[in-house]
Amino acid sequence: MPESGPIRALITGMTGFIGSHLAEFLLKKGLEVTGTVWDKSELKNVETIKDKVKILECDVRDGARVREIINEIAPERIYHLAAQSYPTVSWDEPERTLDTNIIGTTHVFEAVRKSDFDPVVFVACSSAEYGFVSENEVPVKESHVLLPLHPYGVSKVGQDLLAYQYFQNFGIKTVRARIFNTTGPRKTNDVCSDFTSRIVKIEKGLEKELYVGNLEPKRDITDVEDVVNALWLLCEKGKMGEVYNVCSSRAYRIKDILNISISLAKDKIQVEIDPNKLRPTDEPIIMGDNTRIKETCGWIPKMKMEETLSRMLDYWRGAIL
């Protein structure tokens, strides 16, 4: 086991969106950070810190490799973020989604259970576990029934309950977060990144108009900087075995996000409705209740949407050539 020193943290899936921001956050806190990556060629999210962290290749579906890494690092904190994290992909690849998310999480817990050390294990769960929620049921509390609508959501319920089970049966110190929409620099495939990246393409003359879909739904969106702070506080102050919503408890109308993004643009933006972006069904509102994490950990999301979108525009101005 490594000698005492800075807190040793292991982030599975470190090169993902939240994982890379979490690694930066933990380095600033003075932790010794090791991260796993499924495909070692995908390092662009950690390009600025790759010399400050230890990066190990690992497919969490490989139980022997997971045990090897955990025994080598002997982490005091494990942030388990590695997952197949796209609902749309889960329809095409349900087996890989369930295998990666549920069996991969089992491998992490079994490695800890069979070790001789006692880390805090954080498991990244998802608001997708709740499924469809009617307008009179928001904001959604952690006690709400779990009725996921796709294999990804089912896999996250599996991760969630595995963490609870390993706490109850084996005393492993677990804490879970059902994370709602998260955005910020380096984010892709969400409405904020779509608006900001396309505005930058218009600024650079690569596109002429901003095509949008339904602008009426409302979404609970939190800046990634606030989210990684929540993950830190949950490991510091969270009740072990418990689950927490990580969300802003504020619903932003998509049209308002669009208007803020346009107001921050350097050029005039022409907006057009694209019928191909209109979905057959769109939940009118998705919003969580963050009372539990606020009362337990003192966490309060601080970033304003204007600041988040401004940072995202600046990111894309440097990334899109």
Q: Which bin fits 226, alpha (ψ -120 to 50), beta or left (φ > 0)?
A: alpha
Residue 319 has what pLDDT? 96
Mean of the per-residue pLDDT values of the chain: 95
82-99 pLDDT, tens per residue? Answer: 999 999 999 999 999 999
Helix, strand, or coil here: 284?
coil
Helix, strand, or coil here: 201?
helix
pTM over 0.85: yes
Q: Are strands 8-12 and 77-80 parallel, antiparallel or unpaired?
A: parallel
| Euclidean distance between CA atoms 123 and 238, whole angstroms | 12
The closest alpha carbon to 81, from 25, 141, 143, belongs to 25
| Count of beta carbons in the 10 Å neighbourhood of residue 28 | 8
Let me know: does 23 contact 9? Beta carbons within 8 Å. Answer: no
- Distant-in-sequence, close-in-space partners of 194: CB < 8 Å, separation ≥ 6: none
Let me know: does 242 contact 272? Beta carbons within 8 Å. Answer: no
247-298 pLDDT, tens per residue? Answer: 999 999 999 999 999 999 999 999 999 888 876 667 889 999 999 999 999 9
Domains, the chain, in order of start with CATH, read: 8-182+221-246 (3.40.50.720), 184-220+251-285+303-319 (3.90.25.10)
Instruction: Compute the 3-state secondary structure of the chain and give helix, strand, coil in percent, each to the nearest 5.
Output: 45, 20, 40
Q: Is 68 exposed, middle or buried (0-12, 13-18, 19+ CB in 10 A)?
A: middle
Reading the block at residue 66, the tokens are 């997971």
Kindly indicate the confidence band of residue 3, based on its pLDDT and cuts at 50, 70 and 90: low
Mean pLDDT of 292-321: 97
* Residue that is written with structure tokens 């209109």 in the block: 278
Residue 41 has what pLDDT? 62
The closest alpha carbon to 60, from 105, 91, 15, belongs to 105
Mean pLDDT of 149-162: 97
Helix, strand, or coil here: 79?
strand
Q: Judge whether residue 149 has pLDDT over 80.
A: yes
Mean pLDDT of 15-41: 94
- The single-letter code of the amino acid at 87 is P
207-228 pLDDT, tens per residue? Answer: 999 999 999 999 999 999 999 9
| pLDDT-above-70 percentage for the chain | 97
